[in-house]
Amino acid sequence: MPSGRSLPAGAPDPMAAQASRRHPAAGTTGAASTASTAGEPAGEIAVLWITAGLSCDGDTIAMTAATQPSIEDLVRGAIPWAPKVKLYNPLLAPEVGDEFLAAFRRAAAGELAPFILVVEGSVPDEHNKQEGYWASFGTDPATGQPITTCEWIDRLAPRAWAVVAAGTCAAYGGIHAMAGNFTGCMGLPDYLGREWRSSAGVPLVCIPGCPVQPDNLTETLLYLCHQFAGLAAPIPLDEALRPRWLFSQTVHEGCDRGGYYEQGEFGDAYGSPLCIVKLGCWGPVVQCNVGKRGWIGGLGGCPNVGGICIGCTMPGFPDKFQPFMEEPPGSLLSSAALMTYGKAIKALRQFTKDSLNKVPSWRAAPPRRST
Ligand code: SF4
Ligand code: SF4
Ligand code: SF4
């Protein structure tokens, strides 16, 4: 079980998976080592993380807040039976420059395996201009020229055991791919192809969010580590390549304010404890577990703490959710209906509540008399 908690509805039971599959690349070359056999702790798997798409690095920053598991748990090998993660992330690494790039160069040359490639940020179209480049990561020592992010993806993805798109930019284009942008940027499924499979047969995994919910990212990495070790079934993904068990519910289905919505009690100003759909919350139609999971250590999460849901996990984000801070058109009808029958239900509940606040008549003590 990835998170150490009970499995959410729909989550596959990793222990039911065949326990002795071995990845063909395991133990072949480089620093990282083998997948486990049943009952043995797994070895090590590298995670090569590129934040040099069109990115704000927010998903890496978010990940540092994860607790279930924490990134420290993953890199220390503290999760039973999961392979230890050897992390190469430019924001978190002590190395810089060529020293940091060395692992990426070795992986591109087939000298470091197995590894999971994580891409953060949207992928620009480097063919839509006469000269220059949109995004790069290090330079070519032979020519001194920048190596574009696209070239890195082209070199590394075919050798990766799995590829993960971290954050909505990498998954679907996100903010940088808004209408009118001139980079022609896109998400990894559009760049690699929606049917893309790694050399181990693992489909592209998208973990959207802007930024991604911290535990969603580390839990998915842990799931893939368990799968690599032969301890988990192939990761179940939905039609948008999101892990099913994390993205099957709407924000609304787990929101702390759902009771107010049901009773037609809507806030009209920020700071209100009531449902904030009229301030622009898209929670009823957005697939995201933040309402239920919270943000850090189970606490927070956008609407739970008064922030409208702007649909940041969805492939249509942000264009289809604008203008933010206006009531979603689709909620006008449902909230109008709720204003009628929700208030009637609340009045009936108030009647019941008043009754329940009184002890039963047959239990009431008779009036005391002094004489
Ligand atoms: Fe930044 Fe959001 Fe893009 Fe992540 S998805 S890189 S947090 S803009
Ligand atoms: Fe649903 Fe948003 Fe209201 Fe929460 S605040 S109950 S997610 S509409
Ligand atoms: Fe994004 Fe909405 Fe989820 Fe917040 S609740 S993380 S805005 S999808």
Q: Are residues 257 and 134 in the same domain?
A: no
What's the domain range around 262? 252-343
Q: Are residues 74 and 166 in the same domain?
A: yes
pLDDT tens-digit series, residues 130-153: 999 999 999 999 999 999 999 999
Q: Are residues 257 and 210 in the same domain?
A: no
Query: Can you tell me the distance from the alpha carbon of 176 to that of 169, in angstroms, rounded to the nearest whole number?
Result: 7
Pairs from 258-262 (Cβ < 8 Å, separation ≥ 24): 261/338, 261/342, 262/338, 262/342, 262/345
* Burial (CB count <10 Å: 0-12, 13-18, 19+), residue 42: buried
Query: Can you tell me the distance from the alpha carbon of 16 to that of 14, in angstroms, rounded to the nearest whole number?
Result: 5
Q: Are residues 195 and 60 in the same domain?
A: yes
Q: Does the residue 319 lie in any domain? A: yes
Q: Are residues 162 and 298 in the same domain?
A: no
DSSP string for residues in 131-198: S--S-EEEE-TTT-PEEEHHHHHHHHGGG-SEEEEESHHHHH-GGGGSTT-SS--B-HHHHH-TT-B-
- Rounded to the nearest whole angstrom, what is the distance from the C-alpha of residue 289 to the centroid of ligand 3? 8
- Rounded to the nearest whole angstrom, what is the distance from the C-alpha of residue 205 to the centroid of ligand 3? 19
In the prediction, which pLDDT does 370 show? Answer: 65
Q: Are residues 241 and 306 in the same domain?
A: no
The continuous run of DSSP H or E covering 244 comes out as helix 244-247
Domain count, the chain: 2
CB atoms within 10 A of CB 123: 29
Q: Nearest 5°: phi and psi at 131?
A: -150, 170
Q: Are residues 198 and 307 in the same domain?
A: no
> Among all ligands shown, which has an atom nearest to the Cα of 273?
2
- Rounded to the nearest whole angstrom, what is the distance from the C-alpha of residue 211 to the centroid of ligand 1? 5
Q: Are residues 60 and 153 in the same domain?
A: yes
Query: Can you tell me the distance from the alpha carbon of 215 to that of 209, in angstroms, rounded to the nearest whole number?
Result: 12
Cβ contact 197:85 at 8 Å: no
- Rounded to the nearest whole angstrom, what is the distance from the C-alpha of residue 51 to the centroid of ligand 1? 10
Q: Are residues 223 and 120 in the same domain?
A: yes
Cβ contact 65:299 at 8 Å: no
- Rounded to the nearest whole angstrom, what is the distance from the C-alpha of residue 161 to the centroid of ligand 2? 39
In the prediction, which pLDDT does 351 show? Answer: 85
Instruction: Report CA-CA distances (Å) from 250 to 173, 194, 272, 309, 314.
Output: 21, 24, 22, 11, 11
- Rounded to the nearest whole angstrom, what is the distance from the C-alpha of residue 322 to the centroid of ligand 2? 17
Total residues belonging to the chain? 371
Instruction: Report CA-CA distances (Å) from 92 to 38, 60, 100.
Output: 32, 8, 11
Q: Which residues of the chain have pLDDT under 50?
A: 1-36, 38-39
For residue 179 the two structure tokens come to 């209408």
Q: Are residues 52 and 124 in the same domain?
A: yes
For residue 334 the two structure tokens come to 């449902």
The continuous run of DSSP H or E covering 88 comes out as strand 84-88
CB atoms within 10 A of CB 216: 27
**Cβ of residue 287 lying under 6 Å from some atom of ligand 3:** no
In the prediction, which pLDDT does 340 show? Answer: 79
Q: Does the residue 130 lie in any domain? A: yes
Q: Are residues 128 and 34 in the same domain?
A: yes
Q: Does the residue 288 lie in any domain? A: yes
In the prediction, which pLDDT does 146 show? Answer: 96
CATH number for the domain spanning 159: value is 3.40.50.700
> Among all ligands shown, which has an atom nearest to the Cα of 312?
3
Cβ contact 255:47 at 8 Å: no
**Cβ of residue 251 lying under 6 Å from some atom of ligand 3:** yes
Amino acid sitting at position 316: G
The DSSP output letter for 321 is G
Nearest protein CA to atom 6 of ligand 1, as residue? 55
- 175 Cα nearest atom in ligand 1: 8
Pocket test for ligand 3, best of 168, 304, 312, 320 (most atoms within 8 A of CB): 312
Domain stops at, among 230, 245, 260: 245
Query: Can you tell me the distance from the alpha carbon of 159 to that of 167, in angstroms, rounded to the nearest whole number?
Result: 22
Q: Are residues 108 and 170 in the same domain?
A: yes
Strand-pair category, 205-207 with 136-139: unpaired
- Using DSSP's 3-state secondary structure scheme, residue 329 falls into coil
